[in-house]
Chains A and B, each alone.
Chain A
Amino acid sequence: MARSSTLRNFAWLWLAATVAVLVVGFRQAIFVAPMEETMGNLQRIFYYHLAHAILGLVFPYVNLAASLAFLYWRRRDPLKALSADALAVASAEITVLFVGITLATGMLWGKPAWGIWWTWDARLTTELLLWLLYVSYLLLRRFSPSGQTAVLSAVLAIFAAIDVPIIYMSIHWWRTQHPAPVFGSDGGGIDPAMVPAVLWNLAGWAMWGIFLIAFRFALERRRQLAEQEAALLALEASLETPQ
């Protein structure tokens, strides 16, 4: 009991810190960061778009790691395997959410900047396929028979994780129109005055994503425990001798 109340206090603290960081990030992005030369205020959506895009590429790795851990522990330590599976669900759902927000903010940005909502260029298509892959992962979880859900979805998670670099390379070959990478050696870079807004938002949304994953993980654990208890009760009831 003591442990769960400590955890709950920590979660509240974490949420409060997240909200505080997001408030700072909002202020930095909307009021402090300088106006962009060509796009004006429109460019401020970049701080949200970039943060979600980066995190949407990080969470699939959490999903892959959890799925591999599940397959490793499946026979060796079933209880640990169950928590790994819960982490896999949580990270997959948050991946879909973050990639979805990346797509949505990208469209909102693309319409005024490019004049179109959508174009089939390399990065956009890759992002869309990433989203489709993890939606299909969640659908498999919904449709598969209850005893096998964890194993089958872990296998699909491995396939999906391998597919992502292949998709990226093949589509990159196909076409490129998205603005070239802003950061890195070949990027143009951004005004140093914009850096705090980028970093605050990245930190804030990362904390928010971690909070959501932890919350969903706790929820899934409770569901698993309730399922185990129900199974145990059914087993006990079946053992009682009929009169």
Chain B
Amino acid sequence: MRYLSFVLTHLRKDLRLEWRSRDSINGMLFFVLLMVVVFSIAFDPAGYPSTTRQISGGVLWVGLLFASMTALNQSWTREQRNQVLEAQRMAPSPASALFVGKALANMIFVLVVEAVLAPIFVVFFNLHVLGNAWLLAAILPLGTWALVVNGTFFAALGLRARNRELLLPLILLPLSLPAVLMMVQATTGVLTAELDPIYLRSWITQLACYDIIYTTICILLFETVLNAE
């Protein structure tokens, strides 16, 4: 219970900071909007509806992946100002509570971006979802958490590195590739309704397992990273 209250305190602090500046969300929103426009111009979705349905799952996740990476670095840079991070390290609360709070906050930011983006995406790509659209309500949060939990962890890991803006994608992308595969397959399966439901369920289960495994490891190893010397 005490752990939960620590997490909530961190989460509230991050949400309040974001509410005052709105840097991450605005940045991500505009970035994803630009990605949608760029992809629309590159692939001409109006001309080829069935091809569009095939690729739009991938396009959506690639856009979200890049957008969340732009926000993840900022979320820790905030803590570096005025040596807040040093204070966090000395605080008696468990280090992983800081991580969980931060990851949850990032998760909320990306979900907000997805909620705004989804209608725009459907309009610009002329999408007609052929499968069970409600399944997306499970796939989107699971996929987002897979990106955000590792992303938050590795942003913290590369925090004091030279050129950390470059380092984050370099270590996050190879690790996330299986998750990207799972979420893109599941999303495309829902959009095209061509995938056997058994396969679809297996992709979603695998994604959930990925989330559980990496959340556990991140929580276990975060203290080591925070106090790395």
Residues of A within 8 A of B (CB): 71, 129, 132-133, 135-137, 139-140, 143-145, 147-148, 151-152, 155-156, 158-160, 162-163, 166-167, 169-171, 173-174
Contacts and interface: CB of A to CB of B under 8 A. Distances in A.
A198 to B, nearest CB: 31
A156 B162 contact: no
A77 to B, nearest CB: 16
Nearest to A137: B171
B90 interface: no
B158 A133 contact: no
Q: Top 9 A-B pairs ranked by shortest CB distance? A: A151-B228, A132-B174, A148-B228, A170-B178, A136-B171, A133-B174, A167-B178, A136-B174, A144-B161
B213 A162 contact: yes
B224 to A, nearest CB: 6
Interface of B: 150, 157-158, 160-164, 166-167, 170-171, 173-175, 177-178, 181-182, 185, 199, 202-203, 206, 210, 213-214, 217, 221, 224-225, 228-229
A159 B202 CA distance: 23
Given A151-B224, A158-B217, A159-B217, A129 B167 contact: no
Contacts, number: 88
Contact of B228 (A135, A152, A158, A173): A152
A151 B217 contact: no
Nearest to A150: B228
B229 A147 contact: yes
Given A167-B178, A174-B185, A143 B158 contact: yes
Contact of A160 (B157, B162, B175, B228): B175
Given A140-B167, A170-B206, A173-B206, A155 B221 contact: yes
28 contacts: A132-B177, A133-B174, A135-B174, A137-B171, A139-B170, A139-B171, A140-B171, A143-B158, A143-B161, A144-B167, A145-B160, A145-B162, A148-B160, A148-B229, A151-B229, A152-B158, A155-B224, A156-B171, A159-B175, A159-B214, A159-B217, A162-B217, A163-B178, A166-B178, A169-B206, A170-B182, A173-B206, A174-B181
